[in-house]
Copies of this chain bind each other. A is one copy, B any other.
Amino acid sequence: MTEDPITVKPSEDVVFAFEKLMKHKISALPVEDNGKLLGIVTATDLGHNLILDNYKLGTTVEQVMVKDVATIAPEETLKDAIDKMYQYGQDDGIINQLVVLEDDKIVGIISDGDIIKVLKEL
């Protein structure tokens, strides 16, 4: 997993959040306030809606974030991670990242790519 992931505040503008994602070459930002995980926004969703002009000017992260965040604990297995990615996906899709929570604190983020990297080492 990536430790101490970059996050965004709920009050930020969606354009700011998208720029942050692009600047850091990351695919998702956990939304947090005072250390509490409130939601997640992804580059795929923000980019899609910004390009199609689906957001009103001044739309905030809080207004568009996914609130039902898929999370996992550090001690869970790789199989648990894959199962959750599948479980939270829509139709036959998967979600591409899980927020790693320890005692309600965001400690990391794990992506499908991270799992592939581990598989290479097995």
Contact = CB atoms under 8 A, between A and B. Distances in A.
Interface of A: 19, 21-23, 25, 27, 43-44, 47-48, 50-52, 82-83, 85-86, 92-94, 96, 112-113, 115-117, 119-120
A48 B85 CA distance: 26
This chain's copy number in the assembly: 2
Contact of A48 (B22, B93, B113, B116): B22
Which 9 residue pairs are nearest across A and B when measured between Cβ atoms?
A: A22-B47, A22-B51, A86-B120, A112-B116, A112-B112, A112-B113, A25-B44, A19-B51, A25-B48
Given A21-B47, A25-B48, A112-B116, 11 more contacts: A22-B47, A22-B48, A22-B51, A25-B44, A47-B47, A82-B116, A85-B120, A92-B117, A94-B117, A96-B113, A112-B112
